[in-house]
Amino acid sequence: MSAPTTTRTAPAEPRVAALTPISWKLPIALTVLGLVALVFFGIVPAGGHHTTFRISTASDAFQISPVAVPSTATALVLSIVALALAGLSWWAAAGRRRLGVWLPAVFGVLWVLAFLCWAGAGKTIPLTGLLSGALFLSVPLVFGSMSGILCERVGIINIAIEGQLLGGAFLAAVVASLSGSPYLGLVAAPIAGALVGVLLVVFAVRYWVDQIIVGVVLNVLVIGVTNYLFSTVLTNNVGTWNRRTPLPVLAVPGLSEIPVIGPVLFRQTLLVYLLYVAVVILQIYLFRSRWGLRLRAVGEHPKAADTVGINVNRTRIRNTILGGAVAGLGGAFFTVGAGLAFGREMTGGKGYIALAAMILGRWNPIGALFAALLFGFSDNLQTTLGIVGTPIPSQIMLMTPYVVTIFAVAGLVGRVRAPASEGIPYTK
Amino acid sequence: MKLELRGITKVFGSLVANDHIDLVIEPGEIHALLGENGAGKSTLMNVLYGLYDPDGGEILVDDEPVTFAGPGDAMAAGIGMVHQHFMLVPVFTVAENVALGHEPVRGGGLIDARKARTLVREISDRFGFEVDPGALVEDLPVGVQQRVEIIKALSRDARVLILDEPTAVLTPQETDELIAIMRQLKEAGTSIVFITHKLREVRAVADRITVIRRGKVVGTADPSAPETELASLMVGRSVSLGVEKAPAEAGDATFQVRGLTVMDSVGNAVVDDVDLDVRRGEILVVAGVQGNGQTELTEAILGLVQPVAGTIVLDGRNLVGGGVAKALEAGIGYVPEDRSTDGIIGTFSVEENLVLDLFHSPPFSRGGALDKAAIRANADRRIVEFDVRTQAVTAMAGTLSGGNQQKVVLAREMSRPLRLFIASQPTRGLDVGSIEFVHKRIVEERDNGTPVIIVSTELDEVLALGDRIAVMYRGRVVGVVPGDTDRDVLGLMMAGVPLEEAVAQAAEHHTVLGEADIEAEEEPE
């Protein structure tokens, strides 16, 4: 018997739809922002001031002298370039062309620089400090979003990242304080996160409880438990239980001497180096390994996975616990990573911002990394400008990270597809 | 490989889905498992495939008893299954889907992607499947997805292949290709279990037929047995295979669609410049493979989605932009394709479901309060009229069988004076008795002078009901043809071939099912 013999004329191709509604959202947003920069940073402020960007830190091998630029003129040039990019996006939208994410990214960098020229007029902006602080503050967000990716890709919604971070922060502080070794704290932190992960997945997989509700309840539970222990055990004997035991900064020989990049990336603690490793490994293994393929299959179409002999619930349980451990490790940032003692509710909602980073990064480790860095940057910008002193009220500056989060998630995300089966318990 | 089932019993709550079923699959045969929807065929196969634990009985492979804890064990024993709803991850490539569960790996747990692609290509070439291992599954037509499923089973050295309702989503031409593949596999020594409720296909391809009714084996038959005999064995009484209807007495075209275009969220035209006329007293069937814009067309008519262009005119009034309320007020009755999620509210009672679109107006409510007595009286009347089998009108609608749920939907939608009746997939998944009832009511509605639009992907139903047939492909109407058009022509049009060309091609080459039609016409029983 030969192959099917029916001959067929090729069916007509679908007509290119001429009526596709054009999305003008991005061009409009960019133009408005560009005009704001042009007017308020470039035209309105009085000229004559200079903004100084300090690039080197004191300990750099190669010293680069600070760059001083005329504030309004530079802001003017930067905003005009930004507006040119906005024009490009109008052209792209009108022709239904896709330009990719580089355009808003470059626009954002230009806009922020124009903003800094204005905000730092007559002052000095520590550029390297701004960037290394951004990386520093994004550490818990990156670990949290990696945890979210692991859990959601396997089909479990992990709202409990906040609790996992807090649990990790607590246990890291206590273990490091008792043992005197911050590295033991780093080992203990994932255990706390994993325990929260166990609770989450048991309720989700075994009892089919709504995962969002379980997650929120677990966050409250961890707050309660840590607050209780803090105000009893920890407060009664601070010297033993809750000493500050910071992770030492380890400079990578050679690499840390590179101007700007060196101090930002390679003069960090072990926790940050672990972060690099985690992101790279996740990016590769999620998409190229047997583990990753099965994990994603379970999150997309669990029954398909079941019919090829993959144990859906076991896969979910293991990877949710792993995800909890990753978030727990990120929690160590708040105590041993930042060199602080444990304090009540010290994670301050970072777990939820990590979820936003995961969505903005489209459930993709590298994407989530950059989203987390963006949030970390806006957080640090607020702190840095507060120290430098700017014309903006500090309350407005405090809002920045959250405003950026809302706009980024609502405006930039566009069409994303979450794992198809996330949040749905698997039943035969 | 010989496969034997002995006394398989599976119970869900009070329902005995499989009642001591015995079945023997000889090596290298195509064994058809014939039974109507809900007879327990799929349950039996899910037991065999390790998805369900049987409550009794045993499975023997080559006369050795085996137990399957899960599909992995069944696959290891050489059993492969192509599910009715494909078990493919849409966002994965073909190679990833085939490899899933037995991935070739190189160092460090990373997948050997080249090896995975080569495996797909080898099997694909061996049987002439023409499947690209690198294509994303969601971009493939259903016919190709089905071949991916077959490759999946063959890549695991399946020696018994279970095909669960494999033709439900295929055009006659694709069905022909599938039949050719089945014969090829049989020659290569693979046994095939072919689950279906379609008599014609069974007769065309099976070596042996086992008929199941209400969870029990009620007999075996020879493929040469006449269709009527198979049908009465399957249903348990003699059934008329066609729909009895007089020729349409069509009046004015009171419903007109012009230039209707609907976009999906990404900006693809899912309904593309569609023109349709439906006259009073005729049934227009919209045929086509699932997902070619039929659903969106009906949703646009009802006002559930906003078209980006075009007009929808009923009795001289343009309905575009008016929303669902205006469409209902204009006299549209609508039976959605997914009755359990869109047609009824499962946790509401039958009586409440019967007034879902009428509860806000007298006699069912007064001054903002529901008149329970009026609602009860209405329900009592409707369930008699539409033969809804329920323990009580207060029973939750979700507990009814599919056929009775559909009758509730029909009863509600037909209880208002209608100016247009639309039903999407009105008989999908129903048993033969319910199908007959639904078809009868639809024809009655037509004979009352209502213009009727039926969306159906089942060619048997298209041919049984249609006075005229509009074939949709990728959002466009390929052509509108008379109700007695050749099945092969329709099949080709469903694949996007224009009418004249389809007629020419069908004349040259008849499919197995098309020939069966012609034979049936030549020798009336």
Q: What is the pLDDT of residue B444?
A: 93
Min CA distance, A421 vs chain B (Å)? 11
Interchain CB distance below 8 Å, A17 and B268: yes
Positive or negative torsion for Cα B499, B501, B504, B508? negative
Written as one string, the DSSP assignment of B38-59 is TSSHHHHHHHHTTSS--SEEEE
Q: Is A1 inside a domain boundary?
A: no
Is A111 found in the same domain as A137?
Answer: no
Instruction: Give the CATH class of B3-235.
Output: alpha beta
Select the residue from B45, B85, B89 to test the A interface by mutation, using most A Cβ atoms within 10 A. Answer: B89
pLDDT of A7 above 70: no
Question: Which residues in chain A have Cβ-Cβ distances shorter than 8 Å to B87?
Answer: 301, 303-304, 307-308
Task: Give the residue on B whose Cα is nearest the Cα of A20.
Answer: B267
Min CA distance, B425 vs chain A (Å)? 25
Question: Which residues in chain A have Cβ-Cβ distances shorter than 8 Å to B473?
Answer: 11
Q: For residue B429, report the phi and psi dihedrals to the nearest 5 degrees.
A: 75, 10
Interchain CB distance below 8 Å, B267 and A6: no
Domain that holds residue A322: 128-412
pLDDT of A254 above 90: no
Is A107 found in the same domain as A139?
Answer: no
Question: Which residues in chain A have Cβ-Cβ distances shorter than 8 Å to B184?
Answer: 1, 3
Encoding tokens for residue B522? Answer: 């030549």
Question: Domain ranges in chain B?
Answer: 3-235, 243-331+417-485, 346-416
Encoding tokens for residue A325? Answer: 């451990």
Is A347 found in the same domain as A239?
Answer: yes
> B3-235 and B243-331+417-485: same fold?
yes
Positive or negative torsion for Cα B183, B184, B188, B190? negative
In chain A, which among 293-312 make CB contacts under 8 A with chain B? 293-294, 296-297, 300-301, 303-311
Reported ipTM = 0.85
Question: Which residues in chain B have Cβ-Cβ distances shorter than 8 Å to A307?
Answer: 49, 51, 71, 81, 83, 87
Q: What is the pLDDT of residue A261?
A: 83
A189 touching chain B per CB within 8 A: no
A239 touching chain B per CB within 8 A: no
pLDDT of A392 above 90: no
Q: Closest CB to A8: pick one of B113, B267, B497.
A: B497
Mean pLDDT for the stretch of residues A158-169: 97
Cis peptide before B363 (omega within 30 of 0): yes
Is A32 found in the same domain as A78?
Answer: yes
Q: What is the pLDDT of residue A5?
A: 39
Q: What is the pLDDT of residue A299?
A: 96
Q: Which one, of B123, B116, B137, B95, lies nearest residue B184 by Cα?
A: B123
Q: Is A426 inside a domain boundary?
A: no
Interchain CB distance below 8 Å, B101 and A11: no
A19 touching chain B per CB within 8 A: yes
| SS3 label, residue B64 | strand
A95 touching chain B per CB within 8 A: no
**Token pair 């903003």: residue:** A115
Encoding tokens for residue A362? Answer: 């489209």
Interchain CB distance below 8 Å, A4 and B88: no
Residues in chain B with pLDDT values less than 70: 241, 520-525
Min CA distance, B210 vs chain A (Å)? 25
- pLDDT one-digit tens code per residue, A398-427: 787 777 777 777 766 555 678 889 888 998
pLDDT of A278 above 70: yes
Question: Which residues in chain A have Cβ-Cβ distances shorter than 8 Å to B103?
Answer: 290, 293
Q: Is A179 inside a domain boundary?
A: yes
Q: Is A75 inside a domain boundary?
A: yes
Q: Is A317 inside a domain boundary?
A: yes
Encoding tokens for residue B489? Answer: 């022509």
Interchain CB distance below 8 Å, A19 and B497: no
**Residues 6+ away with beta carbon under 8 Å from B14:** none
- pLDDT one-digit tens code per residue, A75-85: 999 999 999 99
Distance, in Å, from the CA atom of B411 to the CA atom of B365, rounded to the nearest integer, reads 19
Q: Closest CB to A14: pick one of B308, B474, B511.
A: B474
Q: Is A420 inside a domain boundary?
A: no
- Full-model pTM: 0.85
Interchain CB distance below 8 Å, A307 and B265: no
Positive or negative torsion for Cα A33, A35, A39, A42? positive
Total of domains in chain A: 2
**Residues 6+ away with beta carbon under 8 Å from B166:** B82, B84, B146, B178, B194, B195, B196
Is A157 found in the same domain as A141?
Answer: yes
- Name the DSSP letter for residue A41: I
Q: What is the pLDDT of residue A2?
A: 39
Interchain CB distance below 8 Å, A9 and B100: no
pLDDT of A329 above 90: yes
The segment with the largest mean pLDDT, out of A246-260, A363-377, B238-252, is A363-377
The CATH number that applies at residue A286 is 1.10.3470
Is A154 found in the same domain as A108?
Answer: no
Report yes or no: B274 and B470 within 8 Å, Cβ to Cβ: no
Is A144 found in the same domain as A254?
Answer: yes
Interchain CB distance below 8 Å, A304 and B100: yes
Distance, in Å, from the CA atom of B5 to the CA atom of A417, rounded to the nearest integer, reads 43
Report yes or no: A85 and A79 within 8 Å, Cβ to Cβ: no
**Token pair 């090596």: residue:** B27
Q: Is A364 inside a domain boundary?
A: yes
Last residue of a domain, one of A95, A122, A149: A122
Task: Give the residue on A whose Cα is nearest the Cα of B126.
Answer: A3
Is A247 found in the same domain as A352?
Answer: yes
Is A163 found in the same domain as A76?
Answer: no
B243-331+417-485 fold: Rossmann fold (3.40.50)
Is A173 found in the same domain as A116?
Answer: no
Select the residue from A2, A6, A415 to test the B interface by mutation, using most B Cβ atoms within 10 A. Answer: A6
Interchain CB distance below 8 Å, B309 and A19: yes
Torsion of CA B222, B225, B227, B230, to 10 degrees: -50
Strand intervals (E) in A262-335: 267-269
Min CA distance, A427 vs chain B (Å)? 11
- pLDDT one-digit tens code per residue, A108-132: 889 988 988 888 888 888 888 888 8
Is A137 found in the same domain as A80?
Answer: no
Is A383 found in the same domain as A280?
Answer: yes
Interchain CB distance below 8 Å, A11 and B497: yes
- pLDDT one-digit tens code per residue, B381-400: 999 999 888 888 898 998 88
Last residue of a domain, one of A87, A122, A157: A122
Does B40 or A20 have the greater pLDDT score? B40
Q: Closest CB to A304: pick one of B87, B265, B268.
A: B87
Q: How confident is the model at residue A60 (pLDDT cuts 50, 70, 90)?
A: low
